[in-house]
Amino acid sequence: MPEPRRTPKPASNAKPAPAPKPKPRPKGSKPTPAPRAPIVFDLPAAPLPAPASFTAGATALGIEFEPGDVERLGLYLAALLKANESANMTAIREPEEAWTKHILDALTLLPVLSELPEGGTVADVGSGGGVPAIPLAIVSPHLRFHLFESTGKKAAFLAQAAAHAGCANVTVHNLRAEAAGLDRGENHDAAGVRTRVGGHRDTYDLGMCRALGPLRTSLELVLPLVKPEGLAVFVKGQKAEEELVEAKQALYVLHASHAGTVDTPTGKLVIIEKRRATPKGYPRIDGLPKRKPL
């Protein structure tokens, strides 16, 4: 009679089966980052009082404020100086100097904005801490301001500071100028009519910037956002004429011309007219306008 089959005992030193290996990510892909907590700034409730020097300067410029405008300007300025304690918003920290070099300096653009129609659109590129866009938005509620800022922390401050100062006419875009200038939106056909929805390229009535680098660099970042026959204004210092000479090639390439330079108590405003739509290929990819200006 055959012996029953015996089941062999497992060896005491047998290794456990290896765990299955995770599937590799596709080549070139990155892990999904964990969501970041929203950035919230502690903004002061009390406005910064306007000094007599600001009032005198505004009077000299012929600026007439609506009731509540100066208080709202003070709210914004208090928010800017408070946020500057934890973020690099501005090198100016003294309140009286800030009223002059931030608020009064911004308001020197009002004569240019006065040419815009009701509901006109303004693109402010490299908005930083919000000058000149937010002061201008406070005193120009009939216009719509679009602020472009690539740094997330600064963009968060801009949105909160604008709301804090009661600016319902401000939209903040956390977006590089190069990306905005290439954004054509989407074309839609309805009832035989083709319309464009969204996008920033060749869109705004006026473009502007302050402290965005040499004119020949900032032209390539601002002009693509401006509609044909629109204007762009650049806040400059005493070297404005030198920068204009250096920017001749950029003006030619971008279909624009110098429309005038205006002296202000704090510097100069260089006004540029955009004659035609931005040519294909501009603005160039991120960072190239700064590294290799036209």
Tokens of 183: 């954004």
What pLDDT score was predicted for residue 124? 99
Burial class (CB in 10 A: 0-12, 13-18, 19+), 118: exposed
- Measuring CA to CA, how many Å separate 271 from each of 114, 238, 261, 281? 14, 15, 6, 24
Domains by residue range for the chain, with CATH: 117-291 (3.40.50.150)
What pLDDT score was predicted for residue 15? 61
* Alpha carbons 70 and 86: distance in angstroms, whole number: 25
Count CA within 13 A, CB hemisphere, residue 17: 3
Determine the 3-state secondary structure of 289 from DSSP: helix
Burial 120-133, CB ≥16 within 10 A → b, else e: bbbbbbbbbbbbbb
What distance, in Å, lies between the first and last C-alpha atoms of the chain?
A: 100
- When computed from its CA atoms, the radius of gyration of the chain, rounded to whole angstroms, is 27
* Alpha carbons 235 and 218: distance in angstroms, whole number: 11
pTM, whole model, 2 decimals?
0.85
Tokens of 148: 């472009």
Q: Residue 141 in contact with residue 166, Cβ under 8 Å?
A: no
What pLDDT score was predicted for residue 231? 98
pLDDT, mean of each 10-residue run, the chain (294 residues): 57 61 62 76 96 97 96 98 93 96 97 96 98 99 98 97 98 97 84 77 98 95 98 96 97 98 94 97 94 93
Determine the 3-state secondary structure of 7 from DSSP: coil
Tokens of 270: 């260089």
What pLDDT score was predicted for residue 217? 97
What pLDDT score was predicted for residue 28? 58
- Give the containing element (helix H, strand E) for 261: strand 256-264
DSSP bridge pairs for 102: none
Nearest C-alpha neighbor of 150 from the set 279, 290, 253: 290
What pLDDT score was predicted for residue 38? 85
